[in-house]
Structure 1
Amino acid sequence: MDHVVPTGQGGGADRGDRQDPEGSEDRRDRTGRGDPADRIDRADEKEHAGREDRGDSSGAWDDGLIARRAIEEAAAEAGVGGVEKRAQPTRIPAPLAYDGPLRSRLDALRELVGLSRARLDSKTLSEAGRVLDESAARRRLSGQHTVVAIAGATGSGKSQLFNVLAGVTISETGVRRPTTAAPIVCSWSDGASGLIDRLGIPGRLRRRPLQSAEAEALLGGLVLVDLPDHDSAAVQHREQVDRVLALVDAVIWVVDPEKYADAVLHERYLRPMAGHAEVMFVVLNQIDRLPEEAADLVLDDLRRLLDEDGIALGEHDEPGATVLALSALTGDGVGELREALGQFVAERGAAARRISADVDAAAVRLRPVYATGRRSGLSEEAREEFTARLADAVGAAAAGEAAERAWLRNANRACGTPWLRLWRWFHGRGEQVPTGRLGQRTQADEESTARQRVEQAVRRVSERASDGLPTPWAQAVREAAVRGSQGLSEALDELAARAGLPPGRPPRPGWWPLAVLTQAAMTLLQVVGGLWLVGQIAGVMAPNLGVPVLLMLAGIVGGPLIEWGCRMAARGPAKRYGLEAERRLREAAAGCGRARVLDPVAAELLRHREVREQYGRVVGVGAGPR
C-alpha cells in the first residue's frame, strides 16, 4: 500500500523511522529545522500515539490541531519570555437539526418499515433501514460542519485539487497509479472528530489545511475528504469509495478531458445519484491542456451528458449540481470553486439535503412494492358476489323453496277434504313425509358442501381483492383468504343444519282454524245428506230427495272450493316463509364467510392502506398513492 505523505512534504520516509532519534535528527537536517509543516506533522503523530496509549477516544479530534496550537503557543510564549499558558477547552459543536418536513418524512419511513417487516423481505427494506440509521447517526453529530468528498478517476487530478484547496501538499500525487490508497481528510475548523470517526478514517490520515484568516473565514466548517480512484484496479479502493460516498454530505466529482464521458462514472455513480444533484459538484479539471474554445466545447458536452443522466444543473439560481471548469495545476478557476464551496458550506444545509435525497432514493426503490397507480381494495360488489356464491354453495335458494313447499303441504293437510287426505295417505304409505329439516336437506345437501364451489368463491374474492395491489401485498391477501377457507365447507355444512327450518310443522296463520272448521262443516253436510238419503231408501224417513241432495252437493262442491281458496291464500305466507328461511341461511353463510375470509382479507387491505399512506408521507404528498 502506498504511504500517505505528511503535511508539508511531497514524499516522506516511513513513519516508523521516527523511533530512531538520530534518523529523526537527520531528517530535520535534510528537510530544514525551520520547516513548520514537518514539526507539525511530527507533533501530530506524537499526539496521536499518546492518545492511543492512553486509550482516549472521547476527547478532541486528533487531527494535528492540538499539536499545531501547542507549537504556535510555544513560539508565542518564547517571544514573550516563556510564560506558560493553558490550552483552551475544545467547544463541542451543536448537533445537526432537521426541519419539520424532513423529520416527518423520516418518521413516516420508520413507520413504513415497521409496518412492512412482516410482509416484505429484509433485502427489500435494507436501503430504507440504512437511510434511517445513517440519518440518525448524522443527526447526533455536528451541524456546523459539512463533509465533502473529492472523487474521480485515475489521473483526473483530484488529489492535486485537494492539495490546492488545502493550500498545502497533503495527498500524494504522481504518475504512478493508483496514487491515493486510502481516504485522507482535511478539516478547516474544530469539532469534526465525530464526523471523521464515522467515515472510519484513522488519525494518521487526518490533516489540517494551511492556516490563514481568509481560508478560515471562507471555508470554516468544511471537512474535505480525498478518496481513492473510483476506477482503481484494487478492489478495496473501490469499496472504500463506495463506503465513504454513502456517508458524506456532498461530493465533488473531478473529471478530465479524456475521461469525462467514461461509462463507468456515469452508469455506476452519476446516474444512480441523479437525485443528489443539489449536493454535487462536477469539476472539469486540466483545462490548461485544452485551447479555450475546446474547453468550452468539452464543458458543454459534459453538461449534456449530465442532463442525460437526469442530473439537474444548478444554473440561473436553480437548485442542482454545480458544474465548473478549472485547472488545479495553474490555479485557473480554483478561486471560483473555492468561493462556491465556501457559500455551499456556509449554508449549513448540505447534510439535510443529502438525507432528503437519500429518502427520495429509498422511496423510488420501494415504489414497486407500495404503489402501482391503480385503485385497489374489496368493493361492495365483490363482497356481495362472494356472499351470493357461498349462499349458492350452501343451497340457500333450494332451502327456501323446500320451506315454501313444506308450508303449502301443511296448508293442504289442514284445509283439504278428508277424502282427498285419505287418498293421499293411502298412496303415500311407507314414504317419509319431507317436513321441517328433512325438507330442507334434500338435493341441496350435496351442493351446500361442495368444496369446489366454496373454493371457487374464495379464489374469486381473493383475486378481486388483490387486483391492483403490489405483488407482496397481493400475495398476503391471497394467503389470508386461503387460510380462512380451510374448514369453510364443513362449517357451512353444519351451519345449514342449524340455520335451516326448525323440526316439525311450519307455523299456521290465524285463519287456519276457521278454514278447518268450514271444511269440517262441508264434510258434515256430506255425511248428513248421505245419511238422510240412506234413511229415505230404508223407509225410515219420508221421501224428500231435494234437501239431502242439496246438502250433499253443497258439501261435495264446497269442500274442494274451500281447499282451493285456502291453497290460494296460503301462497303468500308460504312464499314469505320460504324467503325468510332463505334469508336466514344466506345471512348465516355470509357471516361465516365474513368471519373466516372477508375480515382477514380486509385486515390485509387495511394494513396496505396504512403503509400506502405512510409511503405518501415519505414521498412528500398528503395522501398515499392509489
Structure 2
Amino acid sequence: MTAVTDQDHDHGHTEPTEGEDGVPEEAEPEEGSDEEHARVEADEPAPPEGEEPAESGRPGWDDGLIARRVNETAVEEQQVPAVESRASTPRTAAPLAYDGALRSRLDALRELVGLSRTRLDSRTLAEAGRVLDEASTRRRLSGRHTVVAIAGATGSGKSQLFNALAGVTISETGVRRPTTAAPIACSWSDGAAGLIDRLGIPPRLRRRPAQHTDAEGQLSGLVLVDLPDHDSAAVQHREQVDRVLDLVDAVIWVVDPEKYADAVLHERYLRPMAGHAEIMFVVLNQIDRLPGEATEQVLDDLRRLLDEDGIALGEYDEPGATVLALSALTGDGVGELRETLGQFVTERGAAARRISADVDAAGWRLRPVYATSRGAGLSEEARDEFADRLADAVGATAAGEAAERAWLRNANRACGTPWLRLWRWYQDRLEPPTGRLPLRAQADEEATARQRVEQAVRTVAERASAGLPSPWAQAVREAAVRGSQGLPEALDDLAARAGLPPGRPPRPGWWPAAVLVQASMTLLQVVGGLWLVGQIVGVMSPNLGVPVLLMVAGIIGGPLVEWGCRMAARGPARRYGSDAERRLREAAAGCGRARVLDPVAAELLRYREVREQYGKVMGVGVG
C-alpha cells in the first residue's frame, strides 16, 4: 500500500492507478491530460483491502475512491465502491412539482415570448426561452433531490470541502493547478441519474459518499457537484463552470481569506446572481490560517462585499444567502454546514426557488423592452386631430362651402327674376359651372394634399409611439407607414364619391310658391307694359295710372321676392353645405381609421397584452 504524502495545506496526494493487467502503475500523468484524474474516473471498483486480484499475485491497491465504514465495531473493514452500481435497478423518482404562483409566472413568460416573437429579435428572447426550457426539463426530473454545486477559485479548498462533506476522498486535491479538470458528482441517494445526466457528467465521474448512517439520513436527496476552478487558466474549465451553474439547484461558493474579495468572483458571478441569494451559500474556508478575531473581521468584510453586490444575507431568519466560516482541513464548522445543508435539502424547495429566481432575472433583462414610465396609447384628441388633418387634405371645408354656394345658386335660379336668370344663363354659357365639388387636378394642389396626409400620419405615429419601449415604438411607426401607402389616392377617390350627388341640390317645399309669385310679378310687368303700348298706339283708352302701377309692382316685387327667397334659402343652404362637409369628413376619417389608426391600435393592443403578461411574470400589477 503506497503511503499518502502531505504536500501542502490541502493535503494533496497522488496514488498509483491500475494498469490493464491489474498491476499498479505509478507513472505521473501530465497536467491537463485525461489520465490526471484516473483515480476518480475509474469505472471498476478496487478489490477489498488485503486481497489480491485474480489476474496477478500482487496485492490490490487502494485507489482513493473506496468509501469505508468508519464504525469498525459494527463492520470489519468492509469496503463499498464509490462509483454508483450500474447493475442496480434505478428507482423512479417523483417529478418536481411547481406551486401555483410559479406555474402562473412560467405560463405568463411562455405567453410573453409567444406574443413577442414577431416584434423582438431572437437574441433578446434567448434567455427567457432558455429559462422556459430548463424549467420544463427540471420539472420532469426528480423532485426529491437537490443538486448543489461547489464552486470556488484556485486554491480555495473547494475539493477538500467536497471530500469532507462526502466523508471520503473523492475529488483530488493538490498543489498543482488546476486540480479539478471536470465536474464530479456525489449522490446521497438513488434516483438522481436523470439530474446528473442533465449536467453532462459521465458515469465514470459519479460517486457515492461514505456510508455513514447519520450523514446519509441528514443529507438524503443531496447531489453534490465539485466544479473546476472558475478562474482556471484553461478556458474549457471556465466554460464547464458556467454551463453547470446554469443547471444546478443551489451553489456553495467557497472563498479563502486571501481571495474572498477577488473582482472576478464578484463581478462575473456573485453580482449577476444577486437575485439567486436564497439558493446560495458563501463559505469562508481555511479559517485555521486566521489568528484570533481575524475570522470575524474577514466575515464582516465579506458580508459588506456581498451587500455591495446586492446579495441579501439570510440573517435573522430572513431569506437570502447563508454565510459560514469553516476549515475543511480541521473539520471546524463543517458540521454546521452539513446541518444547514441538510435542512436546506430536506425542504425540497431549492429547485423551485432557482427557477423562480431565473424567471426574475430573465424578467429584469427584458424590462427595457416592455416597461415604460408613462401611459401609452392614442388619446381622443390625437385621433380627432388626425381626422381634421385628413379632412383638410381632402378639402372638406371647401367642399361644404361649395355645396352651400350650389344651393344658393339653385335658389336664385328658381326664384330670381327672368331678366336676372337670362343674364346668369348667358354667363353660364361663357364659363363652366362651379356649383359642383372641384377635383384637385392641378399638380401643386395634389402635392400639397399629399404632404398634408404624410404630415398627419407622421404626427399620429409619433404621438402613438411616445413613451413606448424602442421595439414597440418602431412597430407602431411601421404600422402607420404601411397604412399610409396609397392613402392620398384613396382620399382623392373618396372625395369624388362622397361629394355632392349628381344633379341639382334638392328644393324645399316653398320653392314652387316662390316661383309662382315671381311669375306673377313678371306677368304684372308684362301686362302693364302691353297696356302702355296699347295706349301709345291708340288701341286702348289713355289711362297711365293703372298700367304704370302694374309695371312698378312687378318691377319692385320681383327683386323683393328674389331677396326674400335668398334670405329664406340661407339656412337650408348652410345645412346642406354642413352635411356635405360632414359626410366628407366622416369618409376621410373612416379611411384614415381603417388604413392607419386601426393598425396602430392593433400594435398598441399587442403591447398592452405583452405588458400585462410581463406584469404577471414579475408578479406585479400593470397600470
Q: TM-score, normalised by structure 2?
A: 0.88
**Residues 326 and 578 from structure 1, CA distance in 2 versus in 1: closer, same or farther, beyond 3 angstroms?**
same
> In the alignment, does 2:22 pair up with 1:21?
yes
1:34 alignment counterpart: none
Q: What is the CA-CA distance between 1:529 and the residue it aligns to?
A: 1.1
Match of 1:185 in 2: 185
The alpha carbon displacement at 1:424 in A equals 2.8
Within a 5 Å distance, the mapping from 1:317-336 to structure 2 comes to 317-336=317-336
How far does residue 535 in structure 1 lie from its aligned partner after superposition? 1.5
**Counterpart-to-counterpart distance in 1, 2:282 and 2:12:** 29
SS at match of 1:463: helix
* Contact residue 131 and residue 358 of structure 1 kept, 8 A: yes
The equivalent of 1:33 in structure 2 is: none
Alpha-carbon distance in structure 1 between the residues aligned to 2:94 and 2:14: 38
Q: 2: distance between equivalents of 1:94 and 1:12?
A: 40
Give per-residue Cα distances to partners, 1:324-346, cap 9 Å, x unaligned: 11111111111111110000000
- Unaligned runs of 5+ residues in structure 1 are 1-7, 26-37, 47-63, 70-74, 79-86
State the 1:22 CA deviation: 4.2
| Structure 1 residue 170, shift from structure 2 partner | 0.7
Q: Could you tell me how far apart the structure 2 residues matched to 1:442 and 1:200 are?
A: 75
1:502-541 superposed matches below 5 A:
502-541=501-540
Separation in 2, partners of 1:139, 1:458:
50
> 1:272 is aligned with what amino acid?
P
* Aligned residue number for residue 131 of structure 1: 131
2:290 maps to which residue? 290
Q: 1-side partners of 2:46 and 2:574: how far apart?
A: 101
CA contact (8 A) 2:277 2:313 kept: yes
Distance in 2 separating the partners of 1:39 and 1:548: 139
Give the letter aligned to residue 11 of structure 1. T
Counterparts of 1:448 and 1:513, CA distance in 2: 45
Output aligned runs, 1:148-227, within 5 Å.
Answer: 148-227=148-227
| 1:98 to 1:44, Cα distance in 2 relative to 1, 3 A | farther
Q: Distance in 1 between matches of 2:341 and 2:582?
A: 77
The CA deviation string for residues 334-382 of structure 1, in whole angstroms up to 9 with x for no partner, is: 1111110000000000000000000000000001101122110112111
Counterpart position of 2:14: 11
- TM superposition shift of 1:11: 2.9
Going from structure 1 to structure 2, the CA distance change for 1:412 and 1:353 (only over 3 Å counts) comes to same
Q: SS state of the match for residue 225, structure 1?
A: strand
Give the CA deviation at 1:251: 0.1
- Give 1:293 deviation, angstroms: 1.2
- 1:387 paired residue number: 387
C-alpha deviation, 1:42, in angstroms: 6.4
Q: Distance in 2 between the 1:318 and 1:302 partners?
A: 18
Give CA deviations for 1:505-537 in whole Å, capped at 9, x if unaligned.
111111111000000000111111111112222
Q: Which amino acid aligns with 1:412?
A: N
Gaps of 5+ in 2: 1-10, 27-38, 48-64, 70-74, 79-86
Report which of the two has the higher share of helix.
1
Conserved in 2, the CA contact under 8 Å of 1:390 and 1:454?
yes
Q: Secondary structure at the match of 1:223?
A: strand
Asked if 2 retains the 8 angstrom alpha-carbon contact of 1:399 and 1:444, the reply is: no
For residue 93 of structure 1, report the CA deviation from its aligned partner: 1.2
In structure 2, the residue matched to 1:600 is 599
Determine helix, strand or coil for the equivalent of 1:292.
coil
Q: Does the 8 A contact of 1:437 with 1:503 survive in 2?
A: no
1:581 alignment counterpart: 580
Q: For residues 88 and 68 of structure 1, do their structure 2 counterparts lie closer, same or farther at Cα, with a shift above 3 Å needed?
A: farther
Counterpart CA distance in 2 for 1:97 and 1:172 is 36
> Partner of 2:466 in structure 1?
467
Which amino acid letter does the alignment assign opposite residue 151 of structure 1? A
Q: In 2, distance between residues paired with 1:464 and 1:447?
A: 26
Give the Cα separation in 1 of the matches to 2:372 and 2:332.
50
Change (3 A) 1:526 1:137: same
**Deviates further, 373-382 or 145-154:** 373-382
Return 228-237 or 425-434, whichever deviates more: 425-434
Distance in 2, matches of 1:14 and 1:553, equals: 141
Whether the 8 Å contact between 1:448 and 1:493 is mirrored in structure 2 is: no
1:10 is displaced (CA, Å) by 4.6
1:523/1:399 CA distance change after superposition, 3 Å = same
Mapped to 1, the partners of 2:266 and 2:315 lie a distance apart of 20
Displacement after TM superposition at 1:131 (Å): 0.2
- 1:12 aligned partner, one-letter code: E
Which whole-Å CA distance do the structure 1 matches of 2:441 and 2:41 have between them? Answer: 102
- TM-aligned CA deviation for residue 436 of structure 1: 3.0
- Matching of residues 55-74 of structure 1 within 5 Å: none
CA distance in 2 between partners of 1:539 and 1:441 (Å): 63
Q: 2: distance between equivalents of 1:445 and 1:153?
A: 75
1:443–1:22 distance in 2 versus 1, CA, 3 Å: closer
For 1:12 and 1:291, the matched residues in 2 are separated by 34
Pairwise mapping of residues 342-421 of structure 1 onto structure 2 (< 5 A)?
Answer: 342-421=342-421
In 2, Cα distance between equivalents of 1:420 and 1:558: 14
Distance 1:44 1:548, change over 3 A: farther
Residue 12 of structure 2 contacts residue 173 of structure 2 at CA under 8 Å; is this kept in 1? Answer: no
Count residues with an aligned counterpart.
571
What does residue 56 of structure 2 align with?
A: none
Give secondary structure in 1 for the equivalent of 2:252.
strand
Deviations along 1:452-493, whole A, 9 cap, x unmatched?
A: 111111111111111111111111111111111111111111
Q: Which residue of 1 aligns with 2:260?
A: 260
For 1:499, the equivalent position in structure 2 comes to 498
CA distance in structure 2 between the partners assigned to 1:351 and 1:494 by the alignment: 64
Match of 2:102 in 1: 102
Distance 1:22 1:170, change over 3 A: closer
Verify the 8 A CA contact 1:392 1:448 in the aligned structure 2: no
What residue is the counterpart of 1:486 in the other structure?
485
Q: How far apart in 1 are the matches of 2:588 and 2:443? A: 14
| Contact preservation (8 Å) 2:167, 2:210 | yes
Residues 512 and 40 of structure 1, relative CA distance in 2, 3 Å threshold: closer
Report how far residue 43 of structure 1 moved.
4.0
Paired AA for residue 128 in structure 1: A
Q: 1:42 to 1:116 in 2, by over 3 A?
A: closer
- Return the alpha-carbon distance in structure 2 between the equivalents of residues 606 and 174 of structure 1: 62
User: 1:93 matched to which residue of 2?
Assistant: 93
Q: Which residue of 2 aligns with 1:303?
A: 303
Q: Distance in 1 between matches of 2:593 and 2:68?
A: 76
What is the alpha-carbon root mean square deviation over aligned residues?
2.6
The residue type paired with residue 199 of structure 2 is L
Residues 221-240 of structure 1 aligned to structure 2 (within 5 Å): 221-240=221-240
